[in-house]
Copies of this chain bind each other. A is one copy, B any other.
Amino acid sequence: MSAGRLIGVGVGPGDPELLTLKAVRCLRDAPVIAYVSAQGRPSIARQIGAQHIPAGRKELNLALPMSSLPELADAAYDEGSSRISAELEHGRDVALLCEGDPMFYGSFAQLLSRVSEHYPTEIVPGVTSISAASAATRQPLVFRSASLVVVPATLPGESLAARLRIAEAAAILKLGRHIGKVRRVLAELGLLERAVYVEWASTERERWTQLADLETESAPYFALVLVPAEPYR
């Protein structure tokens, strides 16, 4: 019997209609569906893909601890990859649902690195939250010879500034409680006027505004800031 494949399936930024045809096929065909969840909360990736998971299909819910201790996370990924490997060993493909794109931030990298030495893998790319946020604002993010930098807001202010200074456009992810720092750094760089805040892009809760107009010190997990390249007309 040949081993099953681990298929990392990008389910896109939130709107279930932004799944690709290939993602839908994988959800329909894979004998096992897996996803990650923050312990005690529903899996967001499963919610996005829910309507394409056949009733009664075997599911693996891989719970991750809410703690930021690396040892706890590592233990959870070890356990998750063991559960996935047990299915692969029995010849069953496992479709692992990933928010956005599997290779672009997110926890899939952790599971892939543990499983890919021993089993075949495949990746189905997905639409990122950056593309969804740009679509929401209807402002092209980057074009022609402009460059783009993508940075997590979790970096120290100086590291953020060094990276934001060099590119013509930017996307700042993982805002959360870092939004005050991001606003301050962008203001120092003279970029605040161009910065747009977007939350829950592509979902019913989608909302966007100029960052300068936003008065808050914390943002939801699914929020980001875009600094679109300057228009050329």
Interface residues of A (CB under 8 A from B): 8, 10, 12-13, 15-22, 24-25, 101-106, 108-110, 112-114, 116, 121-128, 131-132, 134-136, 138-152, 154-155, 162-163, 166-167, 202, 231, 233
Q: Which residues of B contact A20 (CB under 8 A)?
A: 12, 17-21, 127
Q: Of B101, B139, B151, which contacts A131 at CB under 8 A?
A: B101
Please give the count of copies of this chain that the complex contains.
2
Q: Are B163 and A18 in contact (CB under 8 A)?
A: no
Q: Which residues of B contact A135 (CB under 8 A)?
A: 8, 102-103, 123-125
Instruction: Sample 27 A-B pairs with CB under 8 A, ordered by A number.
Output: A15-B22, A18-B125, A20-B20, A20-B127, A21-B21, A101-B131, A103-B134, A103-B140, A103-B141, A104-B134, A105-B144, A108-B140, A112-B138, A113-B233, A123-B134, A123-B135, A125-B127, A125-B132, A126-B131, A142-B150, A146-B152, A147-B155, A147-B163, A149-B163, A149-B167, A163-B166, A166-B166
Q: Are A109 and B140 in contact (CB under 8 A)?
A: yes
Q: Are A113 and B15 in contact (CB under 8 A)?
A: no
